[in-house]
């Protein structure tokens, strides 16, 4: 059995079926072509992993060295490196831990870029009458982006 990502487990089978049926129904009743995409995160945010590992690795090393080794620099430096790599792996393996190290603006930018990339990767810009719509959910960032092609914008009032 393979590991299922958080995005693959986000909706249960019944919810997935309802989404597919609703999408199909909307496509039959309108000229829009709809796609839904759920991703675990829009970016790896490696700088957040590194920042967290450096801060906590140094802090834990300082505490351990001060308590157990009388503040020996010979223990602090190697212990900092060991804890850095251990914590880097932990931040990589548990993405929610890195969220405090990611700015709101950075999250917004990454989700927007990932949604736009998905819009083009799924070919929603090549639909008949330019009526593609993408509902993009990025779980780590708790963000939803809705992108529509120019054919949709021509049909709706811009104030709504």
Distance CA 21, CA 42 (A): 26
CA distances (Å), origin 145, targets 74, 82, 109, 118, 142: 50, 40, 11, 11, 10
Domain ranges across the chain = 6-43+103-155, 46-101
Indicate if the pLDDT at residue 4 is higher than 90.
Answer: no
Average pLDDT score over residue span 77-90: 98
pLDDT attached to residue 1: 62
Indicate if the pLDDT at residue 35 is higher than 90.
Answer: yes
Residues 6+ apart with CB under 8 A from 28: none
Task: Give the CA diameter of the chain.
Answer: 74
pLDDT band at 159 (very low <50, low <70, confident <90, very high): low
Specify the pTM: 0.85
- In tens, the pLDDT along 7-33 reads 889 999 999 999 999 999 998 998 889
Of 37, 2, 23, 34, the closest CA to residue 139 belongs to 37
Partner residues linked to 143 by β-bridges: 138
Domain 6-43+103-155 fold: Diaminopimelate Epimerase; Chain A, domain 1 (3.10.310)
Compute the CA torsion angle 43, 44, 50, 55 (nearest 10 deg): 70
Indicate if the pLDDT at residue 75 is higher than 90.
Answer: yes
pLDDT attached to residue 30: 86
């Amino acid at each position: 059995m393979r590991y299922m990502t958080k995005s693959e487990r986000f909706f249960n089978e019944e919810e997935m079926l309802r989404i597919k049926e609703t999408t199909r129904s909307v496509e039959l009743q309108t000229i829009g072509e709809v796609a839904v995409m759920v991703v675990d995160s829009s970016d790896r945010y490696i700088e957040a992993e590194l920042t967290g590992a450096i801060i906590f690795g140094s802090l834990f090393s300082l505490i351990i060295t001060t308590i157990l080794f009388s503040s020996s620099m010979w223990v602090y430096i190697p212990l900092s490196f060991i804890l850095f790599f251990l914590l880097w792996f932990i931040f990589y393996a548990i993405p929610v831990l890195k969220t405090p190290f990611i700015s709101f603006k950075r999250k917004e930018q990454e989700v927007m870029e990932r949604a736009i990339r998905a819009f083009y990767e799924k070919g929603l810009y090549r639909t008949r009458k330019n009526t593609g719509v993408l509902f993009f959910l990025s779980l780590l960032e708790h963000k939803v982006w809705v992108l529509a092609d120019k054919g949709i914008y021509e049909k709706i009032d811009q104030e709504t």
